[in-house]
Amino acid sequence: MREPVRSWVRFLPVAALLLGTTLLLSRRYRAEVVPPRLALADFPVRLGDWHGEDIPLTEEVLNVLGPGDYLERMYQQRAGGPQIDLFLAYVPTQRTGDTVHSPKHCLPGGGWTPVESSRAKVEIAGRPVLLNRYVIAHGDERQLVLYWYQAHGRTLASEYWVKFYLIADAIRLNRTDGSLVRIITPIQESETTEQAEARAIRFAALVVPLLNRYIPV
C-alpha cells in the first residue's frame, strides 16, 4: 500500500521542475531586469598595498566567453614579490544560452593540470564564503586557485546550486545575470600551499567588500 505514496514522492521534484520551466518560459519575452552597476574596468587598480595591471583578453578568449563584462588583472605588492591574478566575469543575461563559464574547463588549458581539488568555507571580510580550491601544476610550477560564483548577493561554489538559483531567480526576480570571481597565486618554492592560500584569502578580503558595486545584489 505504500508504493503509490513513494511514487508520488519521486514525482514531486519532476513536477516542480516542470512547473518552474513553464513559468520561466511564460516570462521569456518579458524585458529582463538588469540592475545598474559599475563596469568591471572601473574596479580599483590599487587594493591596499597591491597594485594591478590589466591583462588584455584576446578576441579568441572573448569569443569563447561570450557576451558579458570581463576583467583580468595581475596584482603585486612589490617588484619580485608573488603575484595574484584576479579574474572577474559578469554576464547580464543567461537566457540566450550565454552562461558563466566554469574555470574547471579552462584550468587544464596551457599545460596546467589540477592536482588537488576541494571546497573550503572561509571567512572573508566578515562573511562566510564557500569556495572552490584547486592546486594546479605545470612541470615544477604550482599555483593555488580559488573561485566562486556570485549573483544577487549570494555566493556559491556548487554549479548545481548555481543552476537551481538561475531558474528560481528568473521566475522570482526576472533576472538571470550572474558572475564568477577567480583568484590565482603561485605557490613559491620557499612556501607551503597553506601560505599561498592564506595570501589569496587576504587578497579576497580586499575584493569582496567592493563587489556589490560591480555585481549587483
User: Largest alpha-carbon pair distance within the chain?
Assistant: 74
Give the model's pLDDT for residue 4: 44
The C-alpha atoms of residue 191 and residue 189 are separated, in whole angstroms, by 6
74 neighbors 53 (Cβ within 8 angstroms): yes
The C-alpha atoms of residue 217 and residue 92 are separated, in whole angstroms, by 12
Give the model's pLDDT for residue 128: 87
Give the model's pLDDT for residue 95: 78
Per-10-residue mean pLDDT of the chain, 217 residues long, equals 46 52 53 90 97 94 89 94 96 80 69 89 85 93 95 92 92 93 95 96 94 94
> What's the topology of domain 31-213?
Protein Transport Mog1p; Chain A (3.40.1000)
Work out the angle between the directed axes of helices 3-26 and 159-173 (0-180°, nearest 10). 60
Q: What is the pTM for the complete model shown?
A: 0.83
Q: Which of 82, 204, 206 is nearest to 143 (CA)?
A: 82
**Under DSSP, is residue 189 helix (H, G, I), strand (E, B) or coil?**
coil
Give the model's pLDDT for residue 88: 96
Domain boundaries, the chain: 31-213
Give the model's pLDDT for residue 3: 42
Read off the pLDDT of residues 162-185 as tens digits, 9 standing for 90 and up: 999 999 999 999 999 999 999 999
Q: Which of 125, 147, 144, 131 is nearest to 212 (CA)?
A: 125
Give the model's pLDDT for residue 97: 66
